[in-house]
């Protein structure tokens, strides 16, 4: 990879300085009925910790955040703020909302660097819980249960914990050091993380009960991608977005070589779908050297599930969007993708293509339990 390309995986959002963070915190009106809190799926006590921050009490702010969230730096970076807390902030009606995500990330980073909070370890007297999967769901429940006095072990099939945070969302949006730091904090609560442990093959659910677990939480995510049923979908050069993102993460962690990543310099890449996964795949393809990346989406811009901020960044970086369009056929030569047929409002055109990346939804894996014989 060239130096430039390496550079481009650097984080795109810049953090606040202390001065900027306190100035931004002072903008909060500390509403009696805080709409930001209503907009937060975990009911984070947003005005309370922002108030502490506005007075420079970062330890208190962190303690309040910890009462609701085990992943504040991650949430600060990749939560859907524009639809959740910030989207509900009353200031947003006339001016810009308080940058709640960026403030949360600031506090979490400061705590990570300075070690502000040392939580007393709860005695593990209440029972033993196995958590399957170490994505945000598994990590969150593990942290909460450990605080409540349960002995918790996480079983993760990947070589490293984090789920989509580690192997899906790219480095430039969510630096892996941030994820590792959050996981370390959860481990410091007494949670044991066992990687390379697949439930369903290495151990069964019954094995876990036999090992003395009282309860099992299944947080195995939606790791099975949907395949679009169009001619040519099995040609060489057709890939699933989540597999591409995983390979890039593994390459950046030094586990696989650059050659194993399907995107090559100068390629023309078509991405089908318009959610966050599609945005990540399109922007990652550019970073891996593709010169032309086209997103194909069958609906309009107002119906895309990607966050507006992700879309804006993708446009800035040069991704081209084709609305109300679909790929109706992938055409190959000698087994590899050569072109696609794009249909837009009844009209069809053929476009040269090197790669087609599908980002059209995901399902849960069903391999946890033995499948009934047909
Ligand atoms: C590319 C991408 C970008 C995204 N961007 C955003 C975003 O910006 N903002 C946002 O809010 N959401 C985003 N999401 C969605 C978000 O990541 C998911 O909602 C979230 O990761 C779900 O968490 P989870 O813990 O349920 O599952 P996952 O993160 O998928 O974690 C499940 C874990 O279970 C493990 N596992 C599965 N089966 C087994 C087994 N049998 N044994 C052991 N371990 C197993 C997996 O290896 C994995 O580590 C994005 C998703 C993707 C794919």
Per-residue pLDDT tens over the stretch 34-68: 999 999 999 999 999 999 999 999 999 999 999 99
- What pLDDT score does 368 carry? 76
Q: What residue owns the CA closest to ligand 1's atom 45?
A: 133
What integer pLDDT is reported at residue 18 of this predicted model?
96
For residue 275 and ligand 1, the question of a CB distance below 6 A is answered with no
Is 78 near ligand 1, meaning CB less than 6 Å away?
yes
Phi-psi region of 55 (alpha: psi -120 to 50; beta: other; left: phi over 0): alpha
Token pair for residue 350? 């053929």
- Calculate the average pLDDT of the chain: 94
- Tokens of residue 1, six digits: 């990879």
> Rounded CA gap, 104 and 282, in Å?
28
163, 170, 186, 205: which to mutate for ligand 1, most atoms within 8 A of CB?
163
d(CA 138, CA 130): 10
For position 119, what pLDDT does the model report?
83
Please give the domain boundaries of the chain with CATH numbers for all domains.
3-114 (1.10.1060.10), 128-218 (3.50.50.60), 225-363 (3.50.50.60)
At residue 17, the pLDDT reads 94
**pLDDT confidence of residue 117:** 83
Q: Which residue of 73, 172, 217, 276 sits with most ligand 1 atoms within 8 Å of its CB, as the best mutation to test the pocket?
A: 276
Q: Which two tokens stand for residue 251?
A: 């390459």
Looking at residue 374, its pLDDT comes to 57
Q: Which residues of the chain have pLDDT under 70?
A: 1-7, 370-374
Claim: this prediction has a pTM higher than 0.85 = yes
Residue 97 Cβ contacting ligand 1 at under 6 Å: no
220 lines ligand 1 (CB under 6 A): yes
In this prediction, residue 371 carries a pLDDT of 62
Q: What is the DSSP string of 95-142?
A: SPPP-HHHHHHHHHHHHHHH----PPPPP--S-EEEEE--SHHHHHHH
CA 190 from centre of chain:
25
Residue nearest to atom 10 of ligand 1 (CA): 79
What tokens does 284 get? Answer: 């990652």
Phi, psi of 359 (to 5 degrees): -140, 70
């Amino acid at each position: 990879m060239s130096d430039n390309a390496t550079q481009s995986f650097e984080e795109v959002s810049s953090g606040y300085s202390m001065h900027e963070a306190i100035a931004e915190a002072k903008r909060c009106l500390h509403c009696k009925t805080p709409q930001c809190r209503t907009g937060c799926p975990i009911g984070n006590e947003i005005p309370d910790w922002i108030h502490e921050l506005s007075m420079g009490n970062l330890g208190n702010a962190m303690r309040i955040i910890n009462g609701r969230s085990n992943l504040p730096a991650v949430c600060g970076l990749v939560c859907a703020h524009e639809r959740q807390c910030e989207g509900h902030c009353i200031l947003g009606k006339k001016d810009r909302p308080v940058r709640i995500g960026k403030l949360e990330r600031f506090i979490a980073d400061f705590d990570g660097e300075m070690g502000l909070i040392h939580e007393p370890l709860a005695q593990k007297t209440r029972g033993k819980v196995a958590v399957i999967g170490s994505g945000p769901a598994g990590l969150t429940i593990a942290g909460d249960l450990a605080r409540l006095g349960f002995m918790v072990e996480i079983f993760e099939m990947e070589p490293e914990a984090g789920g989509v945070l580690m192997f899906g969302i790219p480095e430039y949006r969510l630096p892996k050091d941030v994820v590792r730091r959050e996981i370390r904090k959860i481990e410091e609560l007494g949670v044991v993380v066992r990687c390379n442990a697949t439930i369903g093959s290495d151990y069964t659910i019954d094995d876990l009960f036999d090992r003395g677990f009282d309860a099992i939480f299944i947080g195995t995510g939606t790791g099975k991608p949907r395949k679009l049923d169009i001619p040519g979908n099995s040609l060489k050069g057709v890939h699933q977005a989540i597999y591409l993102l995983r390979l890039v993460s593994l390459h950046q962690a030094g586990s696989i070589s650059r050659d194993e990543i399907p995107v090559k310099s100068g390629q023309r890449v078509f991405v089908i779908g318009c959610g966050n996964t599609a945005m990540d795949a399109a922007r990652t393809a550019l970073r891996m050297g593709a010169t032309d990346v086209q997103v194909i989406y069958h609906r309009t811009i107002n119906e895309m599930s990607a966050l507006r901020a992700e879309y804006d960044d993708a446009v800035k970086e040069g991704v081209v969007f084709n609305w109300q369009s679909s790929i109706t056929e992938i055409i190959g030569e000698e087994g590899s993708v050569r072109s696609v047929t794009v249909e837009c409002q009844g009209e069809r055109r053929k476009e040269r293509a090197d790669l087609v990346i599908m980002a059209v939804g995901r399902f849960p894996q069903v391999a946890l339990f033995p499948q009934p014989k047909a």
